[in-house]
Amino acid sequence: MPQTPPTRFAYLGPEGTFAEAALSSAVAPGEGVRQPAASVPAALAAVRAGEVDAALVPMENSIEGSVPATMDGLADGEPLLITREVFLPVSFVLAARPGTRPEDVRDVVSHPHALAQTARTVAERLPGVPALPASSTAAAARAVADGEHDAAVCAPIAAQRYGLVPLAEDVADHPGAVTRFVLVSRPGRLPAPTGEDKTSLVAVVTDRTGALLDVLREFAVRGISLTRIESRPTRDRLWVYSFSLDCEGHVAEARVGEALAALHRVCEDVRFLGSYPRADGRTSRPVPDEAADAAFADAREWVARLRAGRV
């Protein structure tokens, strides 16, 4: 029985964030209602509580790396599954209330990732002006509109939505940055394999020699390419780490399923985060003949014959 498509979506708010733009690029406006959330944990909590069907949250940026709030939010709490990923090119403006001159600016506010991606350019435009963190780029724009701060680094859509004007455009230190967002929902039927898929998971290992090698070996021997791996400390025990992983392939494929089963055996814990179509425009590496589903089926049949005494 097919799963009902989501119709209620949460995203990292307020209105005017890159997350809202990413959601609009993935889901047509008429396909559901959208609800801004104050933070990534709040968006994920809304899914877990059944207040929305799915949430779109930032996972990583091509310049600044992963978003800890999303990584930790998916690793802890009731399980959630990634059903889709969205890649969004990001550009920033330095915006202020109408009539503000650069020499009038006493502070600039934005999300920490945005501040990091624009630090050099903003410092050149506003030398000596302190940069302050906000929960999102749109929240920064709204705070400037409310008179709480003088300038914000934000998306052009946020500047327009909150009535700000640009002091400078395209202020990124490294133009061409892309943010990867993921759409997450409560566990249910997985997206069907497409042949161009990713699988995400979190593997928890104890502090012992060769622990990471044991994890990597299970992918290597099956010809599975990792597209991302990152270490995160667990928050409940010292010196116990989790590895957040993305690999090519779908859990419905024999090689990926067997790799996850092997990790379940050698790791302290494994949390499956979903198998879904990849959206980065890259073609997955060809599957080696010895790692194809047919090869796994043939090997299982051979062992079955041995166990039955048919050598």
CA distance 30 to 41: 26
- Record the tokens describing residue 269, joined without a space: 């814990």
The torsion defined by the Cα of 8, 14, 19 and 25, in degrees rounded to 10, comes to 60
User: pLDDT at position 2, please?
Assistant: 43
The torsion defined by the Cα of 229, 56, 49 and 34, in degrees rounded to 10, comes to 180
**Domains of the chain, CATH where assigned:** 1-89+177-188 (3.40.190.10), 93-168 (3.40.190.10), 190-310 (3.30.70.260)
- Centre a 10 Å sphere on the Cβ of residue 310 and count the other Cβ atoms it contains: 8
User: pLDDT at position 1, please?
Assistant: 39
pTM for the predicted model, two decimal places: 0.85
Q: Element (H or E) spanning 200, and its range?
A: strand 197-205
- Centre a 10 Å sphere on the Cβ of residue 241 and count the other Cβ atoms it contains: 16
User: pLDDT at position 281, please?
Assistant: 80
Length of the chain measured in residues? 311
User: pLDDT at position 211, please?
Assistant: 83
User: pLDDT at position 207, please?
Assistant: 75
Determine the 3-state secondary structure of 116 from DSSP: helix
- How does pLDDT run along the chain (311 residues), one tens digit per residue? 346 677 899 999 888 889 999 999 888 877 889 999 999 999 999 999 999 999 999 999 888 888 889 999 999 999 999 999 999 998 999 999 999 999 999 999 999 989 999 999 999 999 999 999 998 899 999 999 999 999 999 999 899 999 999 999 999 998 888 999 999 999 999 999 999 999 999 999 877 788 889 899 999 999 999 999 998 877 776 667 789 999 999 999 999 999 999 999 989 899 999 999 999 888 888 888 888 889 999 999 999 999 999 98
